[in-house]
Structure 1
Amino acid sequence: MTYKHLFSPGRAITIWLFLFLFITSFTSLIHAQADEDCMMCHEDRELTGMLNGRTVSMFVDTSIFAHSVHHSNTCLSCHADAADEGFPHADDLKPVNCGNCHTREMTDNVRGVHGQALLGNDPHAPSCKECHGHHDVLHNSNTESRTYKMNIPYLCGRCHKEGEVVARVYDVSEHNIVENYTQGIHGRGLFESGLVVTATCNDCHGNHLVLPHTSPNSSISTNRIAGTCMKCHTRIEEAHKKVIKGELWEKNPSIIPACSSCHPPHIVDVPKIQARISDQACMKCHKDENLHKIVGADTISLFRDNTELPNSVHKNIQCTECHTAVTEHLERPCSTNQPVDCSSCHAEVFDMYFESGHGTAHYNNDTDAPYCTDCHGTHATKSKYDDTSPVYRMAIPQLCGDCHREDGLASKVEGLHENNALSDYSSSVHGMGLTGKGLTVSAVCTDCHTSHMELKMDDERSSVHPANVQETCGTCHKGIYETYLESDHAYRTDPKGTEYPTCVK
């Protein structure tokens, strides 16, 4: 007798298919039975247990679990050690290890401040379930989910809002975080306009790898925050071209201020601050003639004469429009203030200034280099048409001459064509026309050297460079300039290096 027909290829496939279906069905039966066994106890609403010395409910609502992202999981897929115990299982099962499935998220969390605090047994450290839930975990696209976009500020605020555990227990540099977020541009975009594309806490700080801003690996560290902001705000170089010189992005990016230096992340918008901090509030302190601060060995007055601003060109501008980095909720809102950035309004002028000799020197931290306030003043800034202004036409030579005179600050600079420009100008036809005859049409320093783009005469961009000085003089002496252009002396590029006479030679 032969049994060969029992093992024909067709019959063998049928047998293996039967075995596979039997095993998978049996496994499913075991799992179904296991969950059913669990629920024999855990469907009891009165069931409790001890956890970290506290009595907690052990009830599991199967109707809630059925709608969670884990609805297809079995009890044992998370509570694996329950399968190793006899039935019923021991009371002290190990905590669920979400990292068994969510490896990357767990790795990031352990590296972050939350995970490190949890490893250090910090009683206030959040675990996965604090943010995502227990048996009720929902996908972040579900509007009922704790991690749904609109709910993120509330979720983080459970610990981080003022008066809660983070603000009370830990030494944090930021306060009123949630309050300020809701009133800032991102918060208003989220809550007032319903824009789910706006930034929430996790967009800037990360979902699981949350690091302090002092960490070089943090998404909000000074060297990484631009990349974080650029996830939403593209083309930042073009957007800031009137404030930051373009070549700095490529040649010296380390000196460019971090986004948060100018755009504080947890602060109310400037218009909101302006509405809440009035000039009168500032003057409560700054009207005191004895108010001052100590910087190194210097005593610097903080007194502000309230008669100056009403007579200046900035009389309709509030204090906080220039002094923007104030913090409303502090006892001294101006304690967080930074130097005034005039480029916020005068961007094009700043472009020229930073190309000039003055601006370059100031940029390189030359303490003798003039800044806006050295020429224009601070709170008493006046129009150039005001005859009491330091930049009034008749006053320009004296203003520039304060530095460009013998033993003046400019005399320290190498390569200047003249070291006593004020004296030389005063005795020139232009100077005598201005001071001797009161002719305001006479040329002053800024007519020849420009107001904000002055450069040494050997710089090809300079208005007094040999190739450019004739055109500069021609703005007043138009007829002579046109005649000069037709003459043999007209300046031109000569491959032989011939020097042609110019107006100043």
Structure 2
Amino acid sequence: RGIHGVAFKANAPYAPDCKECHGTHTILSSQNPNSRTYKMNIPFLCGNCHKEGAPIGRLYNITVHNIVENYSQGIHGKGLFEKGLLVTATCNDCHGNHLILAASDKGSSVAPKHVAQTCMKCHASIEKTHKKVIKNELWEDRPGAVPACTDCHPPHIVKTERNEEAFSNNSCLVCHDQADKTKKKLFKGDTIIGIDASHIANSVHYNISCVKCHTDVSSKFERPCQELKRVDCSNCHNAVSNVYFDSGHGKAFLDHRTDAPYCTDCHGTHQTKSKFDDTSPTYRSAVPKLCGGCHKKGGQANLMTELKEVNAYSDYTTSIHGKGLNEKGLLVSAICIDCHTAHHELKEADSASSVNPSNIPGTCAKCHKSIYEDYINSDHSIRDNTSMLHYPTCTTCHSAHVISEIDQDKFMNEITIQCGSCHQKLSETYKETYHGKAYQLGDMKAARCSDCHGAHKILKVENPDSKVGFKNIVNTCKQCHSNATLEFTGYLTHATHNDNDVLFYSFWGMTILLVSVFAFFGLHTLIWLPQSLNQRKKNKHKLPEGPVKYYRRFNKRQRFTHLLVILSFLLLALTGMTLKFAHMEWATFVANLLGGVKAAGNIHRFAAVVTFGYFTFHLLTLFQLRAKAGVSVKEFIFGKNSLMFSKQDIKDLGASIKWFFGLGPRPEYGRWTYWEKFDYMAVFWGVAVIGFSGLILWFPEFFTLFFPGWVINVAQIIHSDEALLATGFIFTIHFFNTHLRPESFPMDTVIFTGHVPLEEYKKDRPREYQELVESGKLDSVVVTKEFSKPWLRTIRFFGFLFLSLGVIMVLLIVYSLLMGVY
């Protein structure tokens, strides 16, 4: 029944009989090395007929040529001839000994249906391997669609590498060769798809024949490929396909979504290239653009489903990963598939997704291993997640696609916002500290959360390894405060006035003082206003013209000192209130206008030095005056014309209130009124209190050598509230008492000129005038002079400038107190 026997019966030329293979009188056992049928001799025995140039090849239509030559070069031939392995397959192992049938015969051992069984005589686990690679199916289940052994491992030329020759490709290119311009329409109504043969030759599928992908080609049609469907890559790429079909893309494809991406959309069709080929669309540098074709604003991905990231490609290109890849050419930069995987893309909400919060740390750890170790052992670790509490992951702080460089201002500016989204209360207390206020004003060097607590290895203060723990806190503070001590670290970083008794009493003490002063003098101003309007009607406020007699109220020293007070106070108020209300937009504008937070701080300290300077100068002047007067210290302080409060001030206050309500005449004030004395004494109080607390804030390391760390907190409360009191009082109550009350409006220039018209002075300070007359000293303090108009205009210009700045400052403070929220 074999082809040899059939040919012999038909007396066909060169048909072999028994003696051709076994011999005549020298027939030996196949186990005998001298036998023609010995294992080592079989290839030569068969090769007598089946070799290049043999008559059999010329006479009969045998489709396989050069059998012996090819066999000897294959893995089987080399195993037999080069290594002497008798277990190596020879001709009879595959084709049989006597029942040798043509490969086209269905009963043949090398027929497509039986070839796997034949190979399994040696390769016992071939079906198991075959199922792993080829979609869990066998050749017998789908002949022609699922490849058998010889489809990938050609008979007689079996090598360790795949080298299948695409025998059928030329048949397909007869119609589909793009280079042949004459073949446009070979079949009615169908347009031929042209294929560039070089694409196939240069692709990773160069050794795969067309029909291995286009398995639905059939000879029963007039045109075998007329009913081609989308290629099924899972025939060969089964493992990857299973992953793909479990992904968001694959599930959309299985749902018959026409816009779902398939293998060929990413890898190409006939020009499929290795991901290591820099001309491949799946090469690392090309992947973002490939994915971005759909994942962009208005892209196909956003049209087919609701995505959290609607402009992923654009966001990625601006991120540190995108810039590293596109601008610096760093192929190690993370690309889409590093985070989302190449074939198993799932939405963030899917627990199996590589970008699900529970998996994000592990995904990022592929590149950021050491950071992952810090994070996973920190108090933010997702290992501590509960059903009620979910800790932050990498993307919580860094985002998914707009990841910034950590040393850029933009990222540094976002740190406290990110931390504050979870630690809201701590964020609010941080913003009340100098660090927080400087940060809000744009100081990128101000200490932020990560500077003290660390970026990834964040541990509770009770943990000995924590950066803010007892063991490490001093070194942490020394990062900025080189002279920090353990006492310095006693500063209560996130404390409010409700967390500590000392802070509680300091806060409420200052609050009561502030409210009391404003309440008393605010009421004083309101009840004074009606009488002030009456005074203006009685005494028309006109600027004197020509030579006029003036009372010399202030000397040059006093006027110069007051000028220093004005300038330094305006600078202190402007820079101080800018810091106090750092969360307001106007404060940021002022800080930038002044050159930044550091420049504003330097201006503030310079003004403070000026304040200490004029205060010292004034004290020296007082000592000189006392020595010149030849009186005791007590008499100098509590004397008749002293600025210290006396019983007469209580009388003047009572008389003033009666006058305000129309219950008595206007009091006959002396040289200094009670409100002027209050203004003066407030400077002493303010310089002492604001100045000392300011020095503590200026030199905290020095002062904590003598005081506990919480004194810094107390100093901050006192300095802030007392400054607010001073600023608000000067720019409202003081301005009203001197310039804005109707009888003096729009401005009292006496502090700039040093002189007040004598007639006006008689009405304003009748008691002092009468005392000067009685003592005969009036002439010594009265001068006749005329102030030039340019000089008066200059005084008014700067006076109004200072006045306007003060009013604007008050309005900003009121607005910030009423409308300002963090």
TM-score class, shorter: 0.5 to 0.7
State the shift of 1:35 in Å. Answer: 2.1
Higher RCO by CA contacts (8 Å cutoff, separation 6 or greater):
2
Give 1:48 deviation, angstroms.
6.4
Q: Which residue is equivalent to 1:9?
A: 37
Partner of 2:451: 345
Query: Alignment partner for residue 43 of structure 1, among 159, 177, 180?
Result: 177
Residues 425-446 of structure 1, C-alpha deviations (whole Å, 9 max, x = no match)? xxxxxxxxxxxxxx99998796
Mapped to 2, the partners of 1:59 and 1:118 lie a distance apart of: 26
What is the match of residue 168 of structure 2? 34
- Indicate which of 266, 279, 284 corresponds to 1:149: 284
Question: 1:123-272 residue pairs with structure 2 within 5 A?
Answer: 123-236=258-371, 238-240=373-375, 244-245=378-379, 255-269=390-404
Structure 1 gap segments, 5+ residues each? 283-299, 323-340, 357-382, 403-438, 448-505
1:464-485: per-residue Cα shift (whole Å, max 9, x none)?
xxxxxxxxxxxxxxxxxxxxxx
- Matched with 2:503 is 396
Does the aligned pair in 1 maintain the 2:185–2:191 contact within 8 Å? Answer: yes
What does the per-residue CA deviation read over 1:142-201, in whole Å, with 9 as the maximum and x for residues that have no partner?
Answer: 111000000000000010011212234432111221111111121111112211111100
In 2: Cα distance, 1:32 partner to 1:393 partner = 85
Partners of 1:170 and 1:201 lie apart in 2 by 19
State the distance in 1 between where 2:51 and 2:392 align. 64
2:382 & 2:303 partners in 1: Cα distance? 40
The residue that corresponds to 2:87 in the other structure is none
Matches of 1:240 and 1:73, distance apart in 2: 48
- Taking the aligned partners of 1:352 and 1:59, their CA distance within structure 2 comes to 67
Letter in 2 for 1:103: N
Shift of 1:272: 10
Task: State the alpha-carbon separation in 2 of the partners of residues 354 and 20 from structure 1.
Answer: 86
**Distance change in 2, residues 1:199/1:56 (3 Å):** farther
2:805 alignment counterpart: none
Q: Which amino acid is the alignment partner of residue 13 of structure 1?
A: P
CA distance in 2 between partners of 1:86 and 1:41 (Å): 15
| Contact 2:165 2:209 (8 Å CA) reproduced | yes
How far off its partner does 1:355 sit? Answer: 5.0
Query: Are the equivalent residues in 2 in contact too, given 1:393–1:440 (CA < 8 A)?
Result: no
Shift of 1:77: 1.7
**Shift of residue 135 of structure 1?**
0.5
Normalised TM-score (structure 1): 0.54
Q: Does the 8 Å contact 2:294/2:301 carry over to 1?
A: yes
Q: 2:177 is aligned with what amino acid?
A: E
Q: Distance in 2 between matches of 1:113 and 1:40?
A: 39
Cα distance change of structure 1 residues 393 and 12 upon mapping to structure 2, 3 Å threshold: closer
Give the greater-gyration-radius structure (CA).
2
Equivalent residue number for residue 233 of structure 2: 98
SS of corresponding position for 2:202 = coil
Conserved 8 A contact 1:150-1:196:
yes
Contact 1:177 1:266 in 2 (8 A): yes
| Alpha-carbon distance, 1:40 to partner | 1.1
Report deviation, 1:318.
Answer: 4.5
C-alpha displacement of 1:227? 1.3
- Say whether the 8 Å CA contact 2:431–2:440 is kept in structure 1: no
- Whether the 8 Å CA contact 1:138–1:145 is kept in 2: the answer is yes
Distance of aligned partners of 1:220 and 1:102 in 2 relative to their CA distance in 1, 3 Å threshold: same
- Alignment of 1:110 onto 2:250: no
Report how far residue 39 of structure 1 moved.
1.1
Instruction: Please say if residues 291 and 336 of structure 2, whose CA atoms lie closer than 8 Å, have aligned partners that are also in contact.
Output: yes
Higher helix share: 2
Normalising by structure 2, what TM-score? 0.35
- The answer for unaligned runs of 5 or more in structure 2 is 1-16, 28-35, 53-61, 67-149, 156-163, 418-423, 465-489, 510-702, 712-822
Q: Give me the whole-angstrom Cα distance separating, in 1, the residues matched to 2:308 and 2:708.
A: 51
Partners of 2:706 and 2:411 lie apart in 1 by: 48
Residue pair 2:361, 2:372 contacting (<8 A) in 1 also: no
CA distance in 1, matches of 2:383, 2:224: 64
Deviation at 1:85, TM superposition (A): 3.7
Q: CA deviation at 1:93?
A: 1.8
In structure 1, the partner of 2:439 is 317
Post-superposition Cα deviations, 1:10-53, rounded to whole Å, max 9, x if no partner, equal 66432445659966549989976532221111115665689xxx
Kept in 1: contact 2:347–2:353 (CA 8 A):
yes
* 2:185 corresponds to 1:65: no
Note the C-alpha offset of 1:84. Answer: 4.7
Report the secondary structure of 2:44's partner residue: helix
What is the 5 A alignment of 1:322-401? 343-347=449-453, 351=459, 353=461, 395-396=502-503, 398=505
Taking only the aligned residue pairs, the percentage that are identical comes to 25
CA contact (8 A) 1:249 1:256 kept: yes
Aligned residues: 335
CA distances 1:79-104 after superposition (whole Å, capped 9, x unpaired): 22325545631511232111111111
